[in-house]
Structure 1
Amino acid sequence: MGATYSLGLPRGKGPHAVGCTDVMVGRSQKSLFFRLFYPCISQEGAERPFWIPRYEYYCGLADYMNMNRKWCAPLLSMTFGSCRIPVSWDAPLKLSNKKYPLIIFSHGLGAFRTVYSSVCAEMASRGFLVMALEHRDSSASATYYFKRESEASDIPEAPVQEEWLSYREVPKDQKEFHFRNPQLHQRANECLRGLKLIRSISGGKAAVNLLPTDFDLSSLKDNVDLSRAAVMGHSFGGATSILALVKEAQFKCAVALDAWIFPLENTLYPKVTKPVLFINTETFQTVDSVAKMKKICSLNDETKIITVLGTVHQSQTDFTFLAGNLVNRVFRTRGTIDPYEGLDITNQAALAFLQKHLQLKEDFDQWDGLLEGVGNAVIPNGPLQKSSM
């Protein structure tokens, strides 16, 4: 693309204004940390949150990219530091006569809870409650939790201390699968714990958010449709969504964005009997990974694979909109397709699939053709290439 500036994150195109807040429940590495996107009451002049919330995440991104923190973190901060997400921070939940279906979203390697804000905000604008997790398995470029200064203290107001977790490379003496597979199970279990937390809050149980916020978690009570829950994720998060679908009966379907399917064990494939939508980019997948997706397809007629032409692996992240030409050239954050068009296709296919398998009464079925690979810039099945990982 010829533009020499950042493009900016798209707003959700659905009928609802979108709010978001951060939630951390629990005081250990096993705590749950996520960004919640939800339909909100429209707020004039509401605060727009920064896309990257803390400087530590720039340091984490530098580490993940194997670059020196001293120059890379300030450069990333200069590039992205002023970027904000076009949603209303801490706005009140919009109460409706129908409950909101739930999506739990899992990020990819080296990402964190805010990197998929475009997808999450679009889903919230269409009437979903979206929990974007920040995983604690050392696959996030950075994350943190609070630990008690005194382990004996169970008082909610007790002083707490921030503890940061860094991204971990595969140890040199270990095979990648043996390192990544336990991480995958931890991530899927975090998705299950996320669902359990929302079930608990929706049922009226109080949850203490350790982060300063004006959002009232108890407003979710009786407003979440837990009979309509799906799991979604990108790359490592795509594989996480498939495993979570197998582990949790309450998840009805999964949307796997350019899934990095390698860490899934072979014994798992026959168990993926519920519908999965694989939305692949043109350049990331291999013959082996597409063959594994087809194996999953053979178990359920409703499982679909489509490829969005002109896209690269980062096309399904916010980087595709925010990286200028230099960053794009170095890290291939954009393909040949217009990034807004590429994301529209991804979102519309996901919405059509969710309507079908969560039995929603919306107008998302207008995009059903995409699920068969019919439309501009989309083909059925995997990308046409012969490389291997």
Structure 2
Amino acid sequence: MASAAATTGWRKTGMFKGIGLPVPSGQHQVGCVDVMPLCKGDDSGLLFRLFYPTEATPGSGYHFSPWLPDRLYAKGYMLFKNYSSLVAGFLGTLTNVFCGGQCMPALYGAPVKTSTPLPVIMFSHGVAGMRTTYSAVCCDLASHGYLVAAVEHRDQSAGYCYSKRKKDGSQQFVDHWIPYERPPVSVNEQHMLRARQLTIRRKEILLGLDFIHQLDGSGEFENLLQSNFDFKQFKGKLDLVHTAMMGHSFGSATTVTALADDKRFRVGVALDAYLIPVEDRIEDKVEQPLLFINSWTFQWPENITKIKRYISNDVQTENYPIRQLITLREAGHMDQSDVVFIAPGSRRPPELTTVHAVTMKLCVSFLNRHLWKDSTYPVKDLDESDTDSSGIVYHGTNVETESKE
């Protein structure tokens, strides 16, 4: 367990030594806890990791959370790479040896700091991800005073995930592991699979937001995970007026769908969006401010055309747009996840810490401007007339499309 002095050290260097993730940029220390509430409409419980601000410090009885919640998740990452089950199991074991003892900059089970109500961000992972794959992003947002609920989707797009199910003829719950479903070879069948999975994701996000409201209301629920954490700390302490939806890749498809379905979400942020599975014309139902932050190397014309439909629906508010598309020069698709920080040999220019820092600055700036209506917040990276010091922010897209829609 790191000491308080060690904490000061890694904050100064900008990197958390436990696994090499960036240090959260906000003023708060971060806590986290897993929860599997039994929700109406889902008899196996939804699975979240909650990230939130805390006043606890390392060395005060709380430990930094392991990055891998279970060794099977390591196998799941390998299965996504199309290794056989046997090879994936072996490589997953090696990954577990490398990452199993590694931690993220969040104290597991630490008490919640709620001197002011916490605004809420629901986060949806991409294909092969799970609830801790974007810990750098979620920890950073929590350090700025947000409650971030990172959902682990059970649509078989996660590398691995699990639920609780009752034994036959018994009231006892047991773990039920859900493996990743490899997509078909046919492109059309791939799109059909993702569309089916998106339907499940939509249900999970809306049920999840209902749970967050229940957490703020009574603080009482049936938790299928054994936990000594007092969830009543959240009762009456959540700012449900200021709620955002956010996701990466396939999680961005989840994001725009949630914005269309539920106006309790006031703002959306889509990281390197993959929108092919989203049904056409859904953009007409999205009224909220929406920020796209794409990478330089991932996007292609068909996908950009769908993204542009959301941008074309833009309206001006107080002299600045509520829909924006930004591309980060030279950045890769996974640079907004934790994977690139732990995978050997993945680093390339620009430095990943720069990609992460700029991404978080853009996110926090956009949330402050549009969620909080704070026009005084420093948002120069969002203004096309300004340039950022890193030189990687490009307004618009580097991908040419046949249509100008």
Please confirm whether the aligned pair reaches a TM-score higher than 0.5, indicating the same fold: yes
Task: Check the 8 A contact 2:131/2:151 in 1, yes or no.
Answer: yes
Q: Structure 1 residues 151 and 379 mapped into 2: Cα distance closer, same or farther (>3 Å)?
A: farther
Does structure 1 residue 51 correspond to structure 2 residue 70? no
Corresponding residue number in structure 1 for 2:280:
266
Residue 63 (structure 1) shift: 1.3
Aligned to 2:379: 367
Matched, 1:80 2:92: no
* Aligned pair partner of 1:99 in 113, 117, 122: 117
Aligned to 1:227: 241
Deviation at 1:371, TM superposition (A): 5.2
Give 4+ residue runs of structure 1 displaced > 3 Å after superposition. Answer: 27-30, 150-153, 171-174, 360-363, 371-374, 384-387
Q: Could you say which residue in structure 1 is the equivalent of 2:12?
A: none
Select which of 169, 175, 183 maps to 1:162. Answer: 175
Alignment partner, residue 383 of structure 1:
398
User: Residues of 2 paired with 1:371 and 1:321: CA distance?
Assistant: 29
State which of 195, 207, 213 in structure 2 corresponds to 1:181. Answer: 195
Structure 1 pair 193–70 and aligned structure 2 pair: CA distance change class (3 A): closer
Matched to 2:238, the amino acid is V
Residue 31 of structure 1, CA deviation: 1.8
1:25 to 10, 14, 37: 37
What secondary structure, in the 3-state scheme, does the structure 1 residue paired with 2:232 have? Answer: helix
Aligned pairs, how many?
Answer: 369
The question of whether the paired residues in 2 share the 8 Å contact of 1:109 and 1:236 is answered with: yes
- Does residue 240 of structure 1 match 2:270? no
Q: Cα offset for 1:29? A: 6.5
Note if contact 2:260-2:283 (Cα within 8 Å) is conserved in structure 1.
no
Aligned pair partner of 1:340 in 353, 356, 369 = 353
Counterpart of 2:155? 137
Aligned partner of 2:25 in structure 1 is 13
Counterpart-to-counterpart distance in 2, 1:260 and 1:85: 27
Residue 216 of structure 2 is matched in structure 1 by: 202
Seen in structure 2, the aligned counterparts of structure 1 residues 308 and 211 have a Cα distance that, compared at 3 Å, is same
Is the CA contact (8 Å cut-off) linking 1:316 and 1:343 kept in structure 2? yes
Q: Shift in Å at residue 12 of structure 1?
A: 1.1
Q: After superposition, where does 1:278-357 map in structure 2 within 5 Å? A: 278-301=292-315, 302-325=322-345, 328=346, 334-357=347-370
> 5+ residue gaps in structure 2?
1-16, 316-321
Task: Verify the 8 A CA contact 1:283 1:383 in the aligned structure 2.
Answer: no
Give, as a single letter, the amino acid of the residue that structure 2 aligns with 1:250. Answer: R
Tell me which residue corresponds to 1:65: 81
Kindly state the Cα deviation for residue 286 of structure 1 after the two structures are TM-superposed: 0.8
When structure 1 is superposed on structure 2, of 377-386 and 183-192 the one drifting more is 377-386
In the aligned structure 2, how far is the partner of 1:7 from the partner of 1:367? 30
2:77 partner SS: helix
Cα pair 1:51 1:83 within 8 Å, conserved: yes
Q: Deviations over 1:289-320 (max 9, x none)?
A: 11211111111231100011121001000112
Question: Unmatched 5+ residue regions in structure 1?
Answer: 154-158, 329-333
What do residues 80-99 of structure 1 show as CA deviations (whole Å, max 9, x unaligned)?
A: 22221011110000121x21
Give, as a single letter, the amino acid of the residue that structure 1 aligns with 2:111. Answer: P
- Give the stretch that moved more between structures: 166-175 or 140-149: 166-175
Match of 1:110 in 2: 128
1:53/1:130 Cα in 2 relative to 1: closer, same or farther (>3 Å)? Answer: same
Q: 1:253 to 1:94 in 2, by over 3 A?
A: same
> Structure 1's 44 and 80: CA in aligned 2 closer, same or farther, altered over 3 A?
closer
Q: Does the 8 Å CA contact 1:104/1:191 hold for their aligned counterparts?
A: yes
> What is the letter of the counterpart of residue 45 of structure 2?
S
User: For residue 156 of structure 1, what is the aligned residue in structure 2?
Assistant: none
1:281–1:383 CA contact under 8 A, matched in 2: no
Change (3 A) 1:152 1:94: same
SS in structure 1 of the partner of residue 341 of structure 2: helix
Which amino acid counterpart does residue 211 of structure 1 have in structure 2?
A: L
Query: Secondary structure of 1:254's partner?
Result: strand
Distance 2:307 2:148 in 1: 25
Amino acid at match of 2:131: R
Q: What residue identity is the alignment partner of 1:342?
A: V
- Give the whole-Å Cα distance in 1 for the aligned partners of 2:371 and 2:268: 11
1:126 alignment partner AA: H
Give, in whole Å, the separation in 2 of the partners of 1:172 and 1:26.
36
Mapped contact 2:77–2:128 kept (Cα < 8 A): yes
For 1:61 and 1:269, locate their aligned partners in 2 and report how far apart those are by CA, in whole Å.
Answer: 32
Distance in 1 of aligned mates of 2:252 and 2:291: 10
Report % sequence identity.
34
How far residue 267 of structure 1 moved from its aligned partner, in angstroms, is: 2.7
- Aligned residue for 1:251, secondary structure, equals coil
CA contact (8 A) 2:37 2:45 kept: yes
| Cα deviation, residue 350, structure 1 | 0.7
**In 1, Cα distance between equivalents of 2:123 and 2:169:** 31
Q: Tell me how far apart the structure 2 counterparts of residues 192 and 170 of structure 1 sit (CA, whole Å).
A: 25
Q: Relative to 1, partners in 2 of residues 1:335 and 1:258: Cα closer, same or farther, differing over 3 Å? A: farther
The answer to whether the Cα contact below 8 Å between 1:189 and 1:244 also exists between their aligned partners in 2 is no
Q: What amino acid does structure 2 have at the position aligned with 1:107?
A: H
Question: Is the contact made by 1:108 and 1:234 (CA closer than 8 Å) also made in structure 2?
Answer: yes
